[in-house]
Structure 1
């Protein structure tokens, strides 16, 4: 089995990468859509390397020798020069080295590979949001481009948050807006529509959240439940200050929905 150790590891990792990127959209839990081709290429290369390692292992002898005839010639040469005892020691050492292959700790890599292959981790959720400090954009206050027509207007949590906190033109005023995100809870029954924004991968995720108020906000959904909320902007605090964060939406409808394939927000 040791002869095929590296092949098994490469095939497991390659299969896991292809499972989440080529045969499903699970990769969207971890990276941006633009990185999909690189994941697919990496998975294919790992699979090819694994197959090559398996072929090499099949060609080796039962004790790890890659070429028995070559080892026999080496044994005869050693017998002529140094005697039988030294030849046996050299050949035994050579065989022993091949048999053990790489370090045993490398087998620990099978655990994350199997986990990714069989039980892909979920997207970041309320736990990550609770650990993320409130993000204050350094852009300062100013005017924003006009919003598209539409009623209700679909808008991301990040876009709503930026406009509610920094837009001196109050482009949200008088508009019916619709957003989708997952639920996080605060103190005293407060709850938020939350979304994580990913620039490259899950490691750089930042949080955007909107406090939900109004009659429809009573009886808050459970943490990590995905909902679509329709409502209107409720001004809060002075623009560009901590008092304006998190922004507030007065809800008219709250509907539970299925987690989207791409769980991360767009600016």
Structure 2
């Protein structure tokens, strides 16, 4: 059976990639939606290579003996784990690892917001407008933010989202401090409805993270795509 080791390993990795990309939305935990076709092509190619490797190994059976340590079969364990137990999306631990090192990126006016309240905003857009918008476009608006719960040791809690450009490896954090409501459990997904609470001078460290006075906090399911695009 050792001669089939490479084929099995290729098949497991290919099947794992196809499972998260072709047959589910799990790939959104790791990469942007636009990369799905490339994942499907990669997974399919690996499965086809596995079939070719298996045919080649069978054709050579009886002509030569397979060599190599049996421990090489242990390489199939990570691939099998990926197939059966895909890693979860990044959460509070990843968000809290990023230091709040934010310099002023240029204070200025932002485009007008759509009419109507409550206004659904991403955490990234809310943070940008709260910290850098000299037009104070958030003032007097009821906003709605969706993300997962993170919390400081002193009990301060945040609605948080991870921003990605390409994949989970380049994730950065967007969050808003929530006041006026009890904190749900860490990593719970919630929708917070409330109003912006100005803090600090525009573009300053004191303005980050932005603050929202909550009128309501509602638990929601984790979205298929847990990340925001940076």
TM-score in same-fold range (> 0.5): yes
For 1:49, what is the secondary structure of its paired residue?
helix
- Structure-2 residue corresponding to 1:231: 194
- Structure-1 residue corresponding to 2:45: 45
Q: Distance in 1 between matches of 2:119 and 2:223?
A: 18
The alignment of Structure 1 onto Structure 2 pairs a total of residues equal to 230
- Structure-2 residue corresponding to 1:203: 169
Q: Distance in 1 between matches of 2:133 and 2:71?
A: 55
For 1:122, what is the secondary structure of its paired residue?
coil
Residue 12 of structure 1 and its aligned partner are, at CA, apart by 0.3
Q: Which runs of 5+ in 1 are unaligned?
A: 66-94
Residues 52-84 of structure 1: CA distance to partner in whole angstroms, max 9, x if unpaired?
11111111224xx2xxxxxxxxxxxxxxxxxxx
Tell me, yes or no, if the aligned pair for 2:145 and 2:191 is still in contact at 8 Å: yes
Are 2:185 and 1:222 equivalent residues in the alignment? yes
Among 212, 215, 219, the residue aligned to 1:249: 212
Are 2:24 and 1:58 equivalent residues in the alignment? no
CA 142–105 in structure 1, closer or farther in 2 if over 3 Å, else same: farther
Q: Distance in 2 between matches of 1:189 and 1:61?
A: 65
Choose between structure 1 and 2: higher helix proportion: 1
Q: Which runs of 5+ in 2 are unaligned?
A: none
Q: So what's the TM-score if we normalise by structure 2?
A: 0.95
Two-structure CA RMSD over aligned residues (Å): 1.5
- Structure-2 residue corresponding to 1:139: 105
CA 138–4 in structure 1, closer or farther in 2 if over 3 Å, else same: farther
- Structure-1 residue corresponding to 2:66: 99
For 1:252, what is the secondary structure of its paired residue?
strand
Q: How does 1:122-133 map to 2 (within 5 A)?
A: 122-133=88-99
Tell me, yes or no, if the aligned pair for 1:156 and 1:266 is still in contact at 8 Å: no
Residues 137-194 of structure 1: CA distance to partner in whole angstroms, max 9, x if unpaired?
6522111111112211110011101110000000101111001000001133210001
Are 2:135 and 1:169 equivalent residues in the alignment? yes
Q: Distance in 1 between matches of 2:138 and 2:72?
A: 55
- Structure with higher Rg: it is 1
- Structure-1 residue corresponding to 2:119: 153
Q: Distance in 2 between matches of 1:122 and 1:232?
A: 31
Residues 187-224 of structure 1: CA distance to partner in whole angstroms, max 9, x if unpaired?
3321000100011111100001100012xx12x10000
Q: Distance in 2 between matches of 1:155 and 1:46?
A: 40
Residues 110-143 of structure 1: CA distance to partner in whole angstroms, max 9, x if unpaired?
1221111100110000110111112526522111
Are 2:9 and 1:9 equivalent residues in the alignment? yes
Residue 10 of structure 1 and its aligned partner are, at CA, apart by 0.6
Q: So what's the TM-score if we normalise by structure 1?
A: 0.83
